[in-house]
Amino acid sequence: MKVIKKVRDLQTMLCKLQLTPVGFVPTMGALHNGHISLVESALKQCSIVVVSIYVNPTQFNDKNDLKNYPRTLEKDLSLLDKVLRERDIVFTPDDKDIYPEEDIRVFNFGNLNNVMEALHRPGHFNGVGQVVSRLFDIVKPDVAFFGMKDFQQLAVIKELVRQTKRKVKVVGNPIIRENDGLAMSSRNTLLDPEIRRNAPIIYKTISTASAMISENDIPSIISFVEKSINIIPGFKVEYFEIVDDTELIPVNLRAEMKPGKRYFGCIAVQAGKIRLIDNIEFGLV
Ligand code: PAF
């Protein structure tokens, strides 16, 4: 694999290689098996793969979160070196490469701006929109791969592509979990040991909740989720919503769920000092 830092060098290399389709896996580093599964999908589907590693400051609404975000570049490069081919590229820009000037664009993602993460992390998706559109302009991928753990981010990126009429195909890959069920996340390494031990309660609870839909209505399922998690010391549910998979409009009653549509239960939990998110499909039976 090649490691490239500068935008111009990356574009020169892609132009020289003339390989299509170009697969793109944008990351903020601190790579885990969730990222590697995205890279593996890209390798299967694309003639050349670009993986970017860039911690984007504009998507952090909390300065401490940005400061503490794990940065493990050497480890990331050696992980990628094991899976990428010689022709593939790791792009490691810095702030000046991505934002030569301040990015003042403001995106309107419609209802996606008004629910769940958007309410709890103001400005977050605007920053995601800024960096992803900038990276798409630089890499010009044919296919881009994202994890479904960041369920709302995936919907935001699809909406960004729709609004800006880009030709890139956006692929969402299933969540990869630890053996105990915890959704893999770069922030998991920051969990205190006791909180980490109890963190599988999140997936366990939403799994039970998704099985409850055949015999229970949504308000009692939400109350079950909140009670089961909030009882664990250090854990507090920020939100748990059952939403459709495109506009992410919350459904309040089972009768509002339409056959033929897909629904997901999405949760955010403050777990000690760290905020965790997860989701699971709620099928109608
Ligand atoms: O999901 C992430 O890691 C980031 O939000 C992304 C898509 C790389 C943009 O910085």
Does one domain contain both 10 and 107?
yes
> 249 in helix, strand or coil?
coil
Separation of CA 237 and ligand 1 centre (Å): 23
The ligand 1 atom at the shortest distance from the C-alpha of residue 128 is 9
**Same-domain pairing of 160 and 201:** no
Residues 159 and 261 in one domain: no
The conformational region for residue 137 under phi > 0 = left, psi -120 to 50 = alpha, else beta, is: alpha
> Is the per-residue pLDDT at 209 higher than 70?
yes
Counting from 1 in the atom list of ligand 1, the atom nearest the Cα of 150 is: 1
157 and 195 belong to one structural domain: no
**Residue 243 C-alpha to ligand 1 middle, in angstroms?**
22
pTM of the model: 0.97
Residues with Cβ within 6 A of ligand 1? 26-28, 56, 59, 128, 131-132, 150, 153
Whether residue 285 is predicted with pLDDT greater than 80 in this model: the reply is no
> Both 83 and 163 in a single domain?
yes
Do 130 and 44 share a structural domain? yes
Mean pLDDT of the chain: 97
Co-location of 160 and 234 in the same domain? no
Q: How many domains does the chain have?
A: 2
180 located within any domain: no
- Give the pLDDT confidence score for residue 263 in this predicted structure: 97
Last residue of a domain, one of 106, 140, 173: 173
% of the chain at pLDDT higher than 70: 100
The verdict on 141 and 278 lying in the same domain is: no
**Model pLDDT for residues 168-204, shown as the tens digit of each residue:** 999 999 999 999 999 999 999 999 999 999 999 999 9
Average pLDDT over residues 56-83: 97
Residue 169's domain spans which residues?
Answer: 2-173
Q: What is the pLDDT of residues 122-147, one digit of tens each?
A: 999 999 999 999 999 999 999 999 99
Ligand 1 pocket: which of 28, 53, 121, 133 to mutate (most atoms within 8 A of CB): 28
Residue 77 lies in a domain: yes
Q: Where does a domain end: 173, 208, 224?
A: 173
Q: What are the pLDDT digits (tens) for 21-52?
A: 999 999 999 999 999 999 999 999 999 999 99
Beta bridge partners of 91: 4, 52
What pLDDT shows up at residue 126?
98
37, 156: one domain = yes
Measured by CA distance, the residue closest to atom 2 of ligand 1 is 27
Residue nearest to atom 10 of ligand 1 (CA): 56
Mean pLDDT of 164-171: 97
Radius of gyration over alpha carbons of the chain, in Å? Answer: 19
224 three-class SS: helix
Q: Are residues 93 and 203 in the same domain?
A: no
User: What is the DSSP code string of the chain?
Assistant: -EEE--HHHHHHHHHHH--SSEEEEEE-S---HHHHHHHHHHHHH-SEEEEEE---GGG-SSHHHHHHS---HHHHHHHHHHHS-TT-EEE---HHHH-SS--------GGGGSSTHHHHSTTHHHHHHHHHHHHHHHH--SEEEEETTSHHHHHHHHHHHHHTT--PEEEEEPPPB-TTSPBP-GGGGGS-HHHHHHTTHHHHHHHHHHHHTTTS-HHHHHHHHHHHHHTSTTEEEEEEEEEESSS-PBPSSGGGPPTT--EEEEEEEEETTEEEEEEEEE---
Nearest residue by C-alpha to atom 9 in ligand 1: 128
Which residue, by CA, sits nearest to atom 1 of ligand 1? 27
The whole-number pLDDT of residue 284 equals 73
Indicate if 40 and 124 belong to the same structural domain: yes
CATH number of the domain within which 135 lies: 3.40.50.620
Of ligand 1's listed atoms, the one at least distance from the Cα of 27 is 8
pLDDT at 143: 98
